[in-house]
Chain A
Amino acid sequence: MKKIKFYFYLIAALSSFGCQTEEIFIEAEPATSKLVIASQIIPGDFMFVAVTHSFSALVGNEDSISTDFLGQILVEDAEVSLTFNGQTVSLEPIEDIAGVYISAVQLDSTVKEIQLEVFDPKTADRVSAVTNILPRITPDSVRLTEEVISGDTIQTLYFSFIDPPEDNWYVVNAFDPGGFVDDISSNPFSLFQNNIGIAYDRLLTDQTFDKARFERSVKLESRIQSDTIALFFSNISEGYFRFLDARQRTGGIISSATSEPINHPTNVQGGLGYFNAHNPSILLVGKERI
């Protein structure tokens, strides 16, 4: 027994001689900086477009990117224009929100297709993109119930809508508007600026629906503290659905470690991001306690 113990100690001692190797540096070609487009139609049927620059992976990560650096990648003096129904309009920068541009002209229901042109005079980068405006679809019923079962509070979101006959793709977001209930309908950026957490975030494709009226009842993953829930419901293009789907597939620690690397799809010629013109239905619904 003594010999065996001695042998175990010998093994443990030998193991401690193991060395760690020094890492080897490698030069990898950094990605070329490109203009990045994000867009949406906001309440009042105005188009807003955010323009930024992509940057090297060697700048840092979400935790380490500084506000100063963010200031460098926001494109402040870009020439942004939209062409639709034979007319071209320029977008104006929004005060206090650098890199974000908004159209002064409303996009009414006669607009079916929009072309975007962006030029950054500082870098001479130019990008363009085309997208279709899809009809707004509004859920016909939305409820949020709250019940206490065995000491646990369970919140259930229910919503339903009529899916039109053509192929459609949707994004549904629900969140706690907190103290911004009054601002949401007029200024959805109030949420953006205050970084409000999402309680429910799903992509839907009607290829999986078995009937025209779609109904869903889901337990919320994070709790709505206030008495109201805000639901954003958008009919989106297939391309934007693919973009968001890629993000959902690869986002999060586990997914990013175990999923295949993916370069997100883009419809921006010469750039990155996605130019889309979805027009969300925004619904504010009171909480029902059961």
Chain B
Amino acid sequence: MSLPRALIITTILGHFCLKATGQDLYTISGYITDKSNGEVLIGTAVYDLKSEKGTISNAYGFFSLTLPADSVSLRVSYISYERQQLEFVHNGPLEINFALEEKASSLQNIVISADRWVIEEEVQNTQMSSFQFRSREIEKIPAFGGEVDLIKVAQLMPGVSKGGEGTTGMFVRGGTDDQNLVLLDEATVYNTGHLFGFFSVFNNDAIRDINIIKGGFPAHYGGRLSSVMDVRMKEGDLEKWHAAGGIGLLSSRLTVDGPIIKDKLSVMVSSRRTYIDKILKLTGSSLPYYFYDLNAKLTYKISRKDRLFLSSYIGNDVLRFREKVEDESSDDIAEDIDDIGDELKFGFKLGNFTTTLRWNHIYRRDKLFSNVTLFHTQFKYNIGGTFIDNSILIRSSIRDLGLKATWDYFPNPENNIKAGVNVTGHFFRPNVINTSGEISDALSSQKGGLLSNQDIALYANNDRKINKQLSLNYGFRVSSSNVPGNFYAAFEPRFGLKYSFRRLSSIKFNYTFMKQYIHRVSSSSIALPTDLWYPVTDQVKPQGSHQVALGFFQGFESLGLNISLEGFFKTMNKLIEYREGARLLLNENFEEELLNGSGKAYGAEVLIRKRLGKFTGWLGYSLANADRTFEDLNNGLTYYAKYDRRHDLSLVMIFDINPRFSFSSVWVLSSGSRFTAQNGQYLMPNSSFTGVELIPVYTSRNSVELSPTHRLDINFILKSKQDKKFKSEWHFGAYNFYNRASPYQVRVEFDGLNYRYVQPGLFGFIPSVAWNFKF
């Protein structure tokens, strides 16, 4: 029996299995929000203690639970929030919205029963290989330069390896950085880093929560091989106005949200801008560089059953360099500054722009919830310069326009069905070059050409509880990409299983097949913001991956912690690499430089995570191997992936010493990344025998392992009195507290006597201070 047929039959059976008992069934539905700011709470457990049936709220905070007519004892619980319990006779359809209150003090070291349910939920959920964070959890963790960064927090989880030091690159389970699907309110974000990747584009003040999945992907996610990072922006409070902000070492932030029409229409606006340029100006230096982000969101509650969300993000990196250049060849004495030589101008502007319009609708009987999203996303860069009579402008862009429609169907507590369609048009314009003057002899203008393809995906997924021990999650995704001259399509099955042999112990298994129809063409030796996104073409085929994972999950209620041990095996095919010696910069025919190959990754991951009590944090460790095989690279021999880090350990500790003082630390220890080093050289005459050139000899590809790296970051938080309306807090932190180099390359250096190989690190001890406020 094919999987789609099996899904349909199972769904129908699931729907009618309760009807067969002859009892009347009624649906309890509603939204769950945070009482303090109206933000919806995703993944809140709604559980009937009498029938022992339950559900969790979806990505929009909506829940639907269909139960037989009977007395009901409904318990609603979410981590770190006061639980709510309601007893009533259930004899008709009922809508209840819950507004949960954050615990007055999360400092109790005793884990109360409501939170125990959360410990159990992590064990009993069929989803594995995933992490969730709320922005409030992230802000306590030490941050580079004091800039709270959710991607760098994600890098501290097992299976997520960092790229170069301090950068936001993510290499998940042996994959590449472009195999991560990063979504902001459902719009794809193509460039996740500012300042060459040292800071993420996500302003934590504008973010509500983040969900990272590295395996066992639900069917509604697709298009990337290795991970999904689903980031949701905050919504404005429909009841009260709030403001929050902060001044840090590198940037300042301000967020305002509140009702435009009370209980109907709210707005949230959040902005961030760096001021390296302004600070240096005060000291007499000049670095005309800055980046900024602006997030905005409108939420409109049309009726009980309909909500509209309009959200947008714009962020750019800007450099504007301008200098008068003295004309050395002129003997005249300049009388005015404008007469001194010619002006040199150089600059760039690159960034993302995303917009999504979403409509949530609850259908009659409250069992069916739909979300329809129209989205637009764009990443583009412009680099330009003028000098004397020469000018150059280089542009590149990718733009997506699309529609997603998803239906969540809750026929009964045993089945949670999700199905939908996703249509995306991609428009690429790589390497547009305009030159004038003498420079056009060396670099001619080129239009770059417009490339486009259309991706369509249909998907369905059911999360089914067979009995108390066994749950299945099964589904499929049919994906396709229409490119000029070709049509690619794939059937992507998804399967997950959970078997619990005790209330707080389970094993989970999943298998996924993923396809990727777009890739980023980037160098392995240097990361440039100008790396190109490029669609599949007639020659460049879609990438694919099979992944299986098996895990053991254990909860400890009294300690408030969860432990997971996962093993995975992943194969990848049609991976993209540049051929050796490929020209990367402004190469119009770079498709000819691409090679297809395969890769595999396997490993074991341990996560011990404590989310409750005074002392929270986690210990993550992964032991992994990732390699690549390309017929035309490394003489066809298998070689290690660049960010193959054998051991990767992170220890995150957050200690709330008292209501006004917290201390946190991050310690990371990881094997070095891989590198192709030059270890020899020889002399050869040039082609006309008019001189000699030095030709380098390299080791085999990625055969040098950089030294292991370890680093300690710390952070102290001092809060103002919490009973006042205006609250503020000081953050005092330090990155790389004991000033240890994290090698990022091998270089040959002359020490005065001899040449030797050295591994430099980018960042040493960097102190930071930030002041945050909210009212």
| Chain A interfacial positions (CB closer than 8 Å to B) | 5, 7-12, 14-15, 17-34, 36, 38, 40, 50, 52-62, 64-65, 70, 73, 171, 173, 175, 188-189, 191-192, 195-198, 201, 203, 219, 221, 232, 234, 244-247, 249-251, 254-255, 257-264, 272-274, 280
Given contacts A19-B739, A25-B756, contact A14 B681 (CB under 8 A): no
Given contacts A247-B695, A258-B523, A261-B676, contact A201 B755 (CB under 8 A): no
Show 23 residue pairs from A and B whose CB-CB distance is below 8 angstroms, ordered by the A residue.
A9-B282, A18-B766, A21-B739, A21-B760, A21-B763, A21-B764, A24-B743, A24-B758, A26-B758, A28-B757, A52-B682, A57-B755, A58-B748, A60-B755, A219-B441, A247-B693, A249-B583, A258-B526, A259-B582, A260-B578, A272-B682, A272-B697, A273-B682
Decide: B686 and A262 in contact? CB cutoff 8 A.
no
Decide: B282 and A12 in contact? CB cutoff 8 A.
yes
Q: How far is the CA of A85 from the CA of B765 in the complex (A)?
A: 70
Given contacts A21-B763, A52-B683, A261-B698, contact A198 B741 (CB under 8 A): no
Residues of A within 8 A of B766 (CB): 18-19
Q: How far is the CA of A239 from the CA of B664 in the complex (A)?
A: 60
- Flag whether B424 is at the interface (Cβ < 8 A): no
Residues of A within 8 A of B767 (CB): 14, 17-18
Most buried by B among A8, A33, A175: A8
Q: How far is the CA of A286 from the CA of B407 in the complex (A)?
A: 79
Per a CB cutoff under 8 Å, which of B442, B679, B750, B760 touches A56?
B679
- Flag whether B525 is at the interface (Cβ < 8 A): yes
Given contacts A19-B764, A189-B689, A201-B688, contact A8 B278 (CB under 8 A): yes
Decide: A201 and B679 in contact? CB cutoff 8 A.
no
Q: How far is the CA of A219 from the CA of B760 in the complex (A)?
A: 43
Q: How far is the CA of A119 from the CA of B249 in the complex (A)?
A: 65
Decide: B688 and A175 in contact? CB cutoff 8 A.
yes
- Flag whether B22 is at the interface (Cβ < 8 A): no
Closest to A263 in B: B698
Closest to B679 in A: A31
Per a CB cutoff under 8 Å, which of A8, A57, A245 touches B681?
A57
- What is the distance, in angstroms, from B694's C-beta to the closest C-beta of chain A? 5
- Flag whether B706 is at the interface (Cβ < 8 A): yes
- What is the distance, in angstroms, from B641's C-beta to the closest C-beta of chain A? 15
Residues of A within 8 A of B442 (CB): 221
- What is the distance, in angstroms, from A50's C-beta to the closest C-beta of chain B? 7
Residues of A within 8 A of B580 (CB): 246, 260-263
Decide: A56 and B690 in contact? CB cutoff 8 A.
no
Closest to B580 in A: A262
Decide: A55 and B680 in contact? CB cutoff 8 A.
yes
Residues of B within 8 A of A8 (CB): 275, 278-279, 282
Residues of A within 8 A of B758 (CB): 23-26
- What is the distance, in angstroms, from B691's C-beta to the closest C-beta of chain A? 5
Report how many A-B pairs have Cβ atoms within 8 Å.
Answer: 225
Residues of A within 8 A of B722 (CB): none
Given contacts A19-B765, A23-B760, A249-B582, contact A55 B695 (CB under 8 A): no
Residues of A within 8 A of B467 (CB): none
User: B376-410 interface mask toward A, CB cutoff 8 Å, 1 = contact, 0 = none?
Assistant: 00000000000000000000000000000000000
- Flag whether B79 is at the interface (Cβ < 8 A): no
- What is the distance, in angstroms, from A15's C-beta to the closest C-beta of chain B? 7
Closest to B739 in A: A19
Q: Which 8 A-B pairs have the closest CB atoms?
A: A31-B680, A262-B581, A173-B688, A21-B741, A54-B682, A19-B764, A262-B580, A21-B761
Closest to A220 in B: B441
- What is the distance, in angstroms, from B554's C-beta to the closest C-beta of chain A? 39
Q: How far is the CA of A191 from the CA of B336 in the complex (A)?
A: 49
Closest to A244 in B: B687
Q: How far is the CA of A28 from the CA of B249 in the complex (A)?
A: 39
| Chain B interfacial positions (CB closer than 8 Å to A) | 247, 249, 275, 278-279, 282-283, 441-442, 523-526, 528, 578-585, 676-691, 693-699, 701, 704, 706-707, 736, 739-743, 746, 748-750, 754-761, 763-769
Per a CB cutoff under 8 Å, which of A14, A55, A201, A280 touches B682?
A55
Q: How far is the CA of A50 from the CA of B693 in the complex (A)?
A: 14
Q: How far is the CA of A52 from the CA of B683 in the complex (A)?
A: 8
Residues of B within 8 A of A221 (CB): 441-442
Given contacts A19-B766, A28-B677, A260-B524, 7 further A-B contacts (CB under 8 A): A23-B760, A31-B697, A55-B680, A246-B580, A260-B525, A260-B584, A261-B678
Residues of A within 8 A of B282 (CB): 5, 8-9, 12
Given contacts A12-B283, A19-B739, contact A54 B699 (CB under 8 A): no
Given contacts A11-B249, A12-B279, contact A54 B763 (CB under 8 A): no
Per a CB cutoff under 8 Å, which of B583, B688, B736 touches A198?
B688
Decide: B690 and A192 in contact? CB cutoff 8 A.
yes
- What is the distance, in angstroms, from B671's C-beta to the closest C-beta of chain A? 14
Residues of B within 8 A of A196 (CB): 690-691
Decide: A173 and B690 in contact? CB cutoff 8 A.
yes
Decide: B741 and A36 in contact? CB cutoff 8 A.
no
Decide: B581 and A246 in contact? CB cutoff 8 A.
yes
Residues of A within 8 A of B523 (CB): 258-260
Residues of B within 8 A of A244 (CB): 687
Decide: B693 and A23 in contact? CB cutoff 8 A.
no
- What is the distance, in angstroms, from A141's C-beta to the closest C-beta of chain B? 20
- What is the distance, in angstroms, from A250's C-beta to the closest C-beta of chain B? 5
Residues of B within 8 A of A10 (CB): 769
Q: How far is the CA of A118 from the CA of B763 in the complex (A)?
A: 50
Closest to B581 in A: A262
Residues of A within 8 A of B695 (CB): 247, 264, 272
Q: How far is the CA of A57 from the CA of B523 in the complex (A)?
A: 23
Residues of B within 8 A of A14 (CB): 249, 767-769
Decide: B690 and A175 in contact? CB cutoff 8 A.
yes
- What is the distance, in angstroms, from B695's C-beta to the closest C-beta of chain A? 6
Decide: B704 and A38 in contact? CB cutoff 8 A.
no
Given contacts A19-B739, A192-B690, contact A24 B683 (CB under 8 A): no
Decide: B755 and A58 in contact? CB cutoff 8 A.
yes
Closest to A40 in B: B689
- What is the distance, in angstroms, from A59's C-beta to the closest C-beta of chain B? 7
Given contacts A259-B584, A273-B682, contact A191 B688 (CB under 8 A): yes
Closest to B761 in A: A21
Decide: B283 and A262 in contact? CB cutoff 8 A.
no
Most buried by B among A27, A58, A191: A58
Decide: B750 and A64 in contact? CB cutoff 8 A.
yes
Residues of A within 8 A of B696 (CB): 57, 250, 261
Residues of A within 8 A of B736 (CB): 21
Residues of A within 8 A of B706 (CB): 26
Q: How far is the CA of A61 from the CA of B739 in the complex (A)?
A: 31
Q: How far is the CA of A150 from the CA of B710 in the complex (A)?
A: 62
Residues of B within 8 A of A32 (CB): 680
Most buried by A among B523, B687, B696, B741: B687
- What is the distance, in angstroms, from B329's C-beta to the closest C-beta of chain A? 13
Closest to B698 in A: A261
- What is the distance, in angstroms, from A35's C-beta to the closest C-beta of chain B? 9
Closest to B706 in A: A26
Per a CB cutoff under 8 Å, which of A36, A60, A188, A201 touches B687?
A201
Per a CB cutoff under 8 Å, which of B687, B699, B764, B769 touches A29?
B699
Closest to B741 in A: A21
- What is the distance, in angstroms, from A246's C-beta to the closest C-beta of chain B? 5
- What is the distance, in angstroms, from B236's C-beta to the closest C-beta of chain A? 28
Decide: A54 and B582 in contact? CB cutoff 8 A.
no
Given contacts A26-B757, A250-B581, contact A18 B741 (CB under 8 A): no
Most buried by A among B683, B698, B758: B683
Decide: A23 and B689 in contact? CB cutoff 8 A.
no
Residues of A within 8 A of B693 (CB): 247, 251
Residues of B within 8 A of A258 (CB): 523, 525-526, 528, 584-585
Most buried by A among B579, B688, B699, B706: B688
Q: How far is the CA of A203 from the CA of B758 in the complex (A)?
A: 37
Per a CB cutoff under 8 Å, which of A15, A27, A192, A260 touches B582?
A260
Residues of A within 8 A of B761 (CB): 21, 23-24
